[in-house]
Structure 1
């Protein structure tokens, strides 16, 4: 079985679902839950739930190391975690609107200290693909570490996949910089907003062609419109999404990427892989939180 290495953030997700619009300066009843999250962690757990052979590399607070190692093993993920003695594990506050859209407040904590010593080349042994969350490129230390690991992966002929992860952080670091750091990856998984930020094209077919000049294969996640797959010659496959009730869109993109990659590494054709990604994303939005219910 093909094995995938996922590199990315581990976060504690604090999810707030208000009963109505937030009242500035006053109270609003809400349902508040806390659970493990983070883009990389979400992808790894979804992959594990789909039966993929997955290893996950990340940094967490030292006090949480034993807990998270057990958490991932229970979800069929092989953890390669480092405990940070200085920073606590990352935390993310998610506020879910009535329509399922969400806003984030992020404290990346120990994730900011991910370094080259954490991502040693032995992590690549037996690996068929390396999947890196875009969050790992948004701070200098983790960026240096993942770029070195990806260079070694490419030298070994291991496929590389990138998920841009955050429009807000892409705008902070600059699209041109992000493209320089990631150009040449075999796969890019972006939603339409991320794709537009990266290439300054508003229409998804133009986004596909533009990004295909820099990445081997481009998958654009289109939410309720489904998803498309292509490259430098444009869109070669597009599939619709099923109509479902959206409770929370947190982690839908992570689930999509996991569904696609699990099917792809299992040898399924592009149409089947794209369909598996769409099905996983649709399943994700029907429950609260970024990981399988």
Structure 2
């Protein structure tokens, strides 16, 4: 970035994921053989871990249950992420059971300690060294008081910090949900919707039309298109289509989080939305080739 700041501050959910891959069609009222894997997750936590994996300078702000604080802090540090975790003395860490069948996922969610997340835990000290503040729609959807988030966004802008938002889920964005979402995230620099989310927010069907409408409100839009890659654009500039990286799909959990991480890491380095989009689809391809929403381990340092 032009002012020399490179830290990406990610805020939002921490989740313990239980990933279930049935080995044959699920039989109601009976046992179904399955592969069951436990992984750390949460959309924001995943994005932070991918940023660390990609070598970005990243700090994470979230909330966990008291019994899990040291475990999750250690997981973030191992991923190259600076953890800033508050502890909920009553609620457990959030948890999700995901039933994964090919590219389809069914999720059963308990948000747990995430429901008590306080935007004020993103301190002015963190913002003073941040290039970007990144969050996901899941954090906003679970908030009872959006005024706290508006206050945080105002503080971020006062510090000269770009704001990026990953939309989260189309189901939350249809009808009044989309209007409320757009109102809360007004002033955001970069919006990351997938096609379903973009359609819910704009009422348009074609990707180019979705992006065109979004650019009336956001300086940068990065629309993910699954196996078709992504479409990125800056207000006043041309739309740039970027093809997906061919890969064998194992599990789509966290693909959008990895895309946002790849995009932001490159955008902070170069400011190029084209290069950022390419980095995003590469990270997403790496993600769908493994089980779970986070990279398994950091690459070895070179040089």
TM-score (norm 2): 0.92
Counterpart position of 1:91:
95
Match of 2:229 among 202, 226, 229: 226
**Unpaired segments of 5 or more residues in structure 1?**
none
Supply the distance in 1 between the matched residues of 2:145 and 2:48 (Cα, whole angstroms).
18
1:216 maps to 2:216: no
1:133 maps to 2:129: no
Counterpart position of 1:275:
278
Cα root mean square deviation, aligned: 1.7
Supply the distance in 2 between the matched residues of 1:268 and 1:175 (Cα, whole angstroms).
29
Counterpart position of 1:20:
24
Supply the distance in 2 between the matched residues of 1:253 and 1:142 (Cα, whole angstroms).
26
Relative distance call for 1:127 and 1:279 in structure 2 (3 A) is same
Supply the distance in 1 between the matched residues of 2:258 and 2:129 (Cα, whole angstroms).
23
Counterpart position of 2:39:
35
1:181 maps to 2:181: no
Relative distance call for 1:60 and 1:2 in structure 2 (3 A) is same
Supply the distance in 1 between the matched residues of 2:25 and 2:174 (Cα, whole angstroms).
27
Counterpart position of 1:69:
73
Match of 1:113 among 104, 116, 122: 116
1:145, distance to aligned residue in structure 2 (A):
3.5
**Unpaired segments of 5 or more residues in structure 2?**
297-303
Counterpart position of 2:60:
56
1:55, distance to aligned residue in structure 2 (A):
0.4
1:149, distance to aligned residue in structure 2 (A):
1.4
Counterpart position of 2:195:
192
Counterpart position of 1:45:
49
Relative distance call for 1:65 and 1:46 in structure 2 (3 A) is same
Give the number of aligned pairs.
Answer: 292
Instruction: Please list, as runs of the form range in 1=range in 2, the aligned pairs for 1:228-267 lying within 5 A after superposition.
Output: 228-232=231-235, 236-267=239-270
Any conservation in 1 of the 2:234–2:273 contact (CA below 8 Å)? no
Any conservation in 1 of the 2:254–2:287 contact (CA below 8 Å)? yes
Any conservation in 2 of the 1:208–1:235 contact (CA below 8 Å)? no
1:78 maps to 2:82: yes
1:209, distance to aligned residue in structure 2 (A):
0.8
Supply the distance in 1 between the matched residues of 2:187 and 2:120 (Cα, whole angstroms).
24
1:102, distance to aligned residue in structure 2 (A):
1.3
Supply the distance in 1 between the matched residues of 2:175 and 2:70 (Cα, whole angstroms).
34
Match of 1:102 among 97, 101, 105: 105
Secondary structure in structure 2 of the residue aligned to 1:73: helix
1:139, distance to aligned residue in structure 2 (A):
2.4
1:252, distance to aligned residue in structure 2 (A):
0.5
Secondary structure in structure 2 of the residue aligned to 1:174: helix
1:232, distance to aligned residue in structure 2 (A):
4.8
Supply the distance in 2 between the matched residues of 1:269 and 1:124 (Cα, whole angstroms).
23
Relative distance call for 1:152 and 1:117 in structure 2 (3 A) is closer
Say which is worse superposed, 159-168 or 45-54, in terms of deviation. 159-168
Any conservation in 2 of the 1:116–1:142 contact (CA below 8 Å)? no
Secondary structure in structure 2 of the residue aligned to 1:52: coil
Secondary structure in structure 2 of the residue aligned to 1:48: helix
TM-score (norm 1): 0.95
1:77, distance to aligned residue in structure 2 (A):
0.3
1:142, distance to aligned residue in structure 2 (A):
6.7
